Amino acid sequence: MMFVFIQTQVLFAQSKIKLVDENTNEAIFLAHVKFSNLKTNDFKWAVSDEQGIALNPYNDSTQVDISFTGYEKKTILIKGNETLTVKLKSTSFGLKELVVTANFVPIQLNESVYKIETIREEKIISKGASNLREILNTELNFRTNNGHVNETSINLNGLSGNHVKFMIDGVPVEGRLNGNIDISQINMNNVEKIEIIDGPTSVAYGTNALGGTINIITKKTQAKKLNIQAKSYYESIGQYNFSTSIGFKHKKNTYKISGGRNFFGGFATPDTSRFKTWKPREQYVGSFILNRTIKHLKFTYILDAFTETMTDRGLPRAPYNISAFDTYNKTQRINNKILLNGRISPTYYIDITLAHSYFKRTRNIYFKDLTTLEQFVTESDSDQDTTVFNSYLARTVFIKKNDSLRWNYSIGTELKYDKIEALRVENKIQNIGDYALFASLDYKLMKLTIRPSVRYSYNTSYSSPIVPSVNLLYAANENLQFRTSFAKGFRAPDLKELYLEFHFNSSINLWGNPNLKAENSDHINISMDWNKKIKHHSFKISPKLYYSKINNLISLVKISDVDWKYNNVDYLTTYGGALNIQNQYKNINLAAGINYFGNYNSMFDNTNLTNSYFYTTDLNTSLSYKIDSLAMSINLTYKYTGKIKNLYLLDDNEVATSFIGNFSTFDASIVKYFYNRKINAVLGVKNIFNVTQVDMVGDVYGVSNQSNATSLNVLWGRSFFVALNFNF
């Protein structure tokens, strides 16, 4: 008999039960529930609805037998006037978990034609993660890099961050630096889970979604009438975070206000009072959420704001060390979102997204007198920069979903308008519009689901490609699924690549190119998921193979002694395979994975090179042990990041080998729950091996080495952390 946590509260005279997943707290839909009257011996069957609720038809004491595929059975007793929330334990590693990314309607994980990985709130808490970087840096397929302006970018299976789509509740995160989103600016305070698709979703989401998609799902509803949360975090490296939120539920409306501050004092080896390798950051975040249920529809309005000041204090200038140049980078984001989704008839669904994203980044360089502490803005125009970016999005998707029919479909439109204002773009202001129509068709043939999809768009600045894809799902049984996808993807040239006009100095001029073509790509993905329960062991084995070729790769090309211009000149090929194995034995969960891939860049075609592909291997393992009697869990995570190679051009145009060295990380944490899980405390240590830098030579794809450094900063050393979270 499984252990199940039951929380009781009296709501109505008629009793009912609400079924949720023990790990995710998501409602369990279509579970079979048998109500047996203990006085009359009568019984009736019911099925849980979309909220996981099943009504008790009796007013007397009742025995309730609950069963659902993928979960352990449970029998409970309820009285005639009480309501129980019952948490069921999964036996299939969350295969019944609901996901929405690229489907636009909640479906069970094992029914999605896309291979979707999820990171749940429980894992975010155990890692003490306050931003997306701290989550992804130990995930198997990801590499995180500290950029030359101290932004944190990622690499996914050999593809850099400008080929990955970042979204929050289906709305793209705007404000890319050198094509990358700074993932250390993506906050984890109000996150329910993260959904990750490894591979293109360009049909659904357009540009940048050719390598993968990361969709962060935030919390929008609450069960209680009043909910107050507070989170505090301290890390020995000099990081202090605090956030709080209050939510109020009135009839069909839920209101939530939250705010927080994240402070990082910077880090350097050896430590100095001024220059820091990892720059000091101070962030403020705030949000307002209104959620309303309208029959089977959910309406959500979200306003969130973010501001960050990153300080780069320069080294004292020789020979007297009495002055220095200090740089201040300030980032502001303000986002407004309107989300309307749900069922409009028994078989039709709608998903509407309206959003405005505002991004502003200001860079100012000051000359500072270290004797008087006075500072003055430098006179050079190239030292000061302000970029303002506005993006408007309107997406509407209609979905036909009837499980009793072989044919289902979805059709949608996406209208997107972007505008940039900056001194470093042609005419100091530019805009671009992209207007798309996309559709998909699901056809079920016995155990096989076939989904052909296509996207057509009109762009005001370049010729948009037609983007088709075909996804196949073969569900041999509930424990074994095979997935295959053949997809095209694309990345549109951004406004800076199209219209950049930057005179760095007398010897370097950077130019955009309004005649750029969109990058287009071909992808093949093959994966399998096998789940099996043997006595007390639950096994999951997930191998996959992948291949990507990106054409018309956009690169800066030297066109004269002083001029560099963006052009479509190269193609990039990446292929590899990964294997993940997981075993859950009672309260012990052990997982291990390996990812092996190689890439090739045609920019360095050379007949003298016998092997133009470069290969690398990543490994990770994790162990989680739950001690139910103590309301505690112990979590260990290890990752090996292999050496990665590439080719780069020397000043004399000779081709040389570049690389980033290998390194290992090991993290540990203990999570303790108090007061019926309303309070949790986390104590942990990050980077136990105390890794800070690895060897580096030249430019490696996705990581620029403009200063010709011999090492790369990957982590800020060993640190200890403690977190305390309240949820009442």
Q: How far is CA 678 from the centre of its chain?
A: 26
Q: Per the structure block, which two tokens stand in for 117?
A: 């990985």
Which pLDDT tens digit goes with each residue over 92-142?
666 678 899 999 888 888 889 999 999 999 999 999 999 999 999 999 989
Q: Band of the pLDDT at 332, cuts 50, 70, 90?
A: very high
Classify 33 as helix, strand or coil: strand
The percentage of residues in the chain with a pLDDT greater than 70, rounded to a whole number, is 92
pLDDT at position 1: 37
- d(Cα 452, Cα 411) in Å, to the nearest integer? 12
Residue 507 has pLDDT above 80, yes or no: no
Which pLDDT tens digit goes with each residue over 395-435?
999 999 988 889 999 999 999 999 999 888 888 899 999 99
pLDDT at position 6: 38
Q: Per the structure block, which two tokens stand in for 126?
A: 């155990």
Residue 597, burial from CB neighbour count under 10 angstroms (0-12, 13-18, 19+):
buried
Q: Band of the pLDDT at 495, cuts 50, 70, 90?
A: confident
Phi, psi dihedrals of residue 7, rounded to the nearest 5°: -115, 130
For 497, the enclosing helix (H) or strand (E) is: helix 495-499
Pairing relation of β-strands 116-120 and 171-172?
unpaired
Residue, of 511 and 95, whose pLDDT is higher: 511
Residue 193 has pLDDT above 50, yes or no: yes
Which pLDDT tens digit goes with each residue over 338-372?
999 999 998 999 999 999 999 999 999 999 989 99
pLDDT at position 510: 80
Residue, of 537 and 150, whose pLDDT is higher: 537
Q: Cα dihedral angle (147, 152, 156, 160), rounded to 10 degrees?
A: -40
pLDDT at position 179: 80
pLDDT at position 417: 96
In a 13 Å sphere around the CA of 17, the CA atoms on its Cβ side amount to: 30
pLDDT at position 3: 38
- d(Cα 593, Cα 634) in Å, to the nearest integer? 20
Superfamily of domain 216-727: TonB-dependent receptor, beta-barrel domain (2.40.170.20)
- DSSP designation for 204: H
Report whether 581 contacts 603 (CB < 8 A). no
Report whether 241 contacts 221 (CB < 8 A). no
Task: Give strand ranges (E) for 535-562.
Answer: 537-558
The chain-wide mean pLDDT, for the chain, equals: 88
Q: Band of the pLDDT at 20, cuts 50, 70, 90?
A: confident
Which pLDDT tens digit goes with each residue over 557-579?
777 777 888 888 778 899 999 99
Q: How far is CA 292 from the centre of its chain?
A: 26
Which pLDDT tens digit goes with each residue over 638-697?
999 999 887 776 666 677 788 889 999 999 999 999 988 899 999 999 999 999 889 988
pLDDT at position 703: 65
Q: Per the structure block, which two tokens stand in for 154?
A: 């990622």
Residue 7 has pLDDT above 70, yes or no: no
Which pLDDT tens digit goes with each residue over 454-477?
999 999 988 888 999 999 999 998
Q: How far is CA 392 from the centre of its chain?
A: 21
Q: Band of the pLDDT at 511, cuts 50, 70, 90?
A: confident
- d(Cα 671, Cα 683) in Å, to the nearest integer? 7
Phi, psi dihedrals of residue 241, rounded to the nearest 5°: -125, 145
Closest CA to 143 of 610, 590, 694, 680: 694
Average pLDDT of 319-343? Answer: 94
Question: Could you tell me which residues are beta bridge partners of residue 326?
Answer: 313, 366
Question: Could you tell me which residues are beta bridge partners of residue 84?
Answer: 8, 17
The percentage of residues in the chain with a pLDDT greater than 90, rounded to a whole number, is 51
Which pLDDT tens digit goes with each residue over 31-69?
889 999 888 888 888 888 877 888 888 888 889 999 886
Closest CA to 723 of 139, 186, 262: 262
Buried-state track 395-416, b at ≥16 Cβ within 10 A, e below 16: bbbbbbbeeeeeebebebebeb
Bond preceding residue 465 cis, omega within 30 of 0: no
- d(Cα 279, Cα 603) in Å, to the nearest integer? 33
- d(Cα 688, Cα 439) in Å, to the nearest integer? 49
Residue 191 has pLDDT above 90, yes or no: yes
- d(Cα 613, Cα 607) in Å, to the nearest integer? 13
What are the boundaries of each domain within the chain?
6-88, 98-215, 216-727
Task: Give strand ranges (E) for 59-134.
Answer: 62-67, 74-78, 83-88, 98-99, 107-108, 116-120
Which pLDDT tens digit goes with each residue over 601-636?
776 555 555 557 889 999 999 999 999 899 999 999
- d(Cα 81, Cα 68) in Å, to the nearest integer? 25
CA angle 675, 680, 681 (to 5 degrees): 130
Q: What is the pTM of this model?
A: 0.88
Report whether 690 contacts 666 (CB < 8 A). no
Residue 9 has pLDDT above 50, yes or no: no
Residues comprising the chain, all counted: 728
Superfamily of domain 6-88: Immunoglobulins (2.60.40.10)
> Cα dihedral sign for 443, 445, 446, 451?
negative
Q: Per the structure block, which two tokens stand in for 599?
A: 């890439």
DSSP string covering 663-725, please? Answer: EEEEEEEEEEEETTTTEEEEEEEE-TT---EEEEES-BTTB--TT--SEEE-----EEEEEEE
Residue whose tokens read 């073969």 = 474
Least confident of 220-234, 292-306, 602-616: 602-616
Q: Band of the pLDDT at 158, cuts 50, 70, 90?
A: confident
Superfamily of domain 98-215: TonB-dependent receptor, plug domain (2.170.130.10)
Residue 214, burial from CB neighbour count under 10 angstroms (0-12, 13-18, 19+):
buried
pLDDT at position 28: 83
Which pLDDT tens digit goes with each residue over 241-288?
999 999 999 888 999 999 999 999 988 877 777 888 889 999 999 999
